[in-house]
Homo-oligomer: A and B are copies of this chain.
Amino acid sequence: MASAGDSSVKQNNKQRILEATIQLMNEQGGAVGTSQVADHLGISPGNLYYHFRNREEILRELFERLVQELDEVLRVEAGEPIPVARLVACYTGGTRVLWRYRFFFASAVDFIGRDPWLAQRYLDFSRQSQHYMRLIIQSAMKESPGPVKATARQTAHLAEIMWVLWVSWPRYSELAQPGRKLGEADIGHGLEQIAFVLAPYLGEIYYKQVLQRVHRFVKGLEREAQT
């Protein structure tokens, strides 16, 4: 325990730098610099540059985290049956991740414009996520066909639309509520809106169930926030 404890303490600043970057960029936008991060943590610029070669490397590492965390939540196999509970778990879990890294989507154009490597990785990420979403939507519609039937092509459209909404909603919420601190209510509203796109393709009962579980998730967030 002594050696494990030691090494984790030693590497502590690296994690703190990553966390601080997330926090500051979520609050102030993607233009936050290395000096601001260092200042905020009360460490020296030199210290920060001991842990990371440059600013780009911080962003890349944060992006890899985002990718992995979302993949863990969204990963489904083709043909795998997806009950309501699972559908909503993907959905709310994904929202958690996208909310946590919302700064990234807000500044994606800037980040990607300066780092071709990131551009390619982001593209793969976007495609993979939409692939999962198609599978999930397909399964949900099979389980409960709604008043409107969807072809495979339309399923692809739905997945793309929902993906764009999903990653855009945090930023939109921030702009729609300037100054105010954002929280559970906004997340919940976004979740409902995105689910609404799917509504005509799901049965009414199924859709109600989804909304109910989403609502329960939002309540859970509130409880967490009070802790």
Contacts and interface: CB of A to CB of B under 8 A. Distances in A.
13 contacts: A29-B113, A30-B109, A31-B31, A106-B109, A107-B109, A109-B175, A119-B178, A122-B175, A147-B147, A154-B196, A164-B165, A168-B168, A200-B200
Interface of A: 28-31, 106-110, 112-113, 119-120, 122-123, 126, 147-148, 154, 157-158, 160-161, 164-165, 168-169, 171-172, 174-176, 178-179, 192-193, 196-197, 199-201
A164 B174 contact: no
A157 B193 contact: yes
Contact of A110 (B29, B113, B119, B126): B29
B175 A164 contact: no
A5 to B, nearest CB: 40
Contact of A148 (B112, B147, B169, B175): B147
A30 B175 contact: no
A119 to B, nearest CB: 5
B197 A161 contact: yes
